[in-house]
Chain A
């Protein structure tokens, strides 16, 4: 019996959350959503996922802060975290890597490539 990979997407744009949900669901994943880092942490207190996909520029707690807090937590320390961002600078990528991100994906995203990345980091 195979279990469906569960993803938490974190993005402050309702349009992007809807697009991601549609694209990932079509690829066979189970998708939960949060609208920023604080919402994500709240939700993750009582829920588990197989991978987290997060934007960087978000209010209250940005992607970097979210990654740092997750890596400091016992429950989600080892959960793969992929950054999905319009940014592509080496500086931002290095910062994400240092914080503990698993990878970086540049927007606009390709659904098939995103799905492949999710499968790679969850196996």
Chain B
């Protein structure tokens, strides 16, 4: 589910993904019994399409938060887990570390409590998350994650302005 965001309060739902240098943020509100997960990869340091990575990253996290809010969660009630962010390539390209640092900083600035993080290293992870219970299972796997491509938007889609 790279580049996607899903949230649910359905007890029969489980989200699954494989993470390399990407990071998955799992949010859970125990009062609303709603959870959500995204899976994102920011671009390598150079910004593309004139939009800095911070804007893309915020967009991806905000979509997740909004999906939670739509289902009855509150910002104060949300708790977070972070997974992934491995550095799979040459040590000079620490993309996983960049993604991890962004996610941690976002949660800190937004005041969302981070209760567990399994980040870094140099191996892929498989993550299963049950959003209605807020339960996650994460394990190292030998399988290679799907080839990661940064979340990108076509220039014409970024910041489309419609004046009424």
Closest to B107 in A: A15
A19 with B159: CB separation less than 8 A = no
Name the A residues within 8 Å of B141 (CB-CB): none
Interface residues on A, range: 20 to 34
B164 with A105: CB separation less than 8 A = no
Number of interchain pairs (Cβ within 8 Å): 85
CB within 8 Å for A86 and B62 given contacts A13-B110, A15-B110, A19-B54: yes
- Return A91 CB to nearest CB of chain B, in Å: 14
- From 98 to 123 in chain A, residues with beta carbon under 8 angstroms from any chain B beta carbon are 101-114, 116-117, 120-121
Name the A residues within 8 Å of B66 (CB-CB): 57, 86-87
B164 with A101: CB separation less than 8 A = yes
B162 interfacial contact with A, CB 8 Å: yes
Max chain B C-beta neighbours (<10 A), residue from A15, A19, A109: A15
Q: Mark B140-164, 1 if CB is under 8 A from A, else 0.
A: 0000000000000100011111111
B158 with A110: CB separation less than 8 A = yes
User: Please, could you name 9 A-B residue pairs with CB atoms under 8 Å apart, sorted by A?
Assistant: A57-B70, A87-B66, A93-B162, A103-B163, A103-B164, A106-B160, A107-B58, A112-B50, A120-B163
B161 with A105: CB separation less than 8 A = yes
A14 interfacial contact with B, CB 8 Å: yes
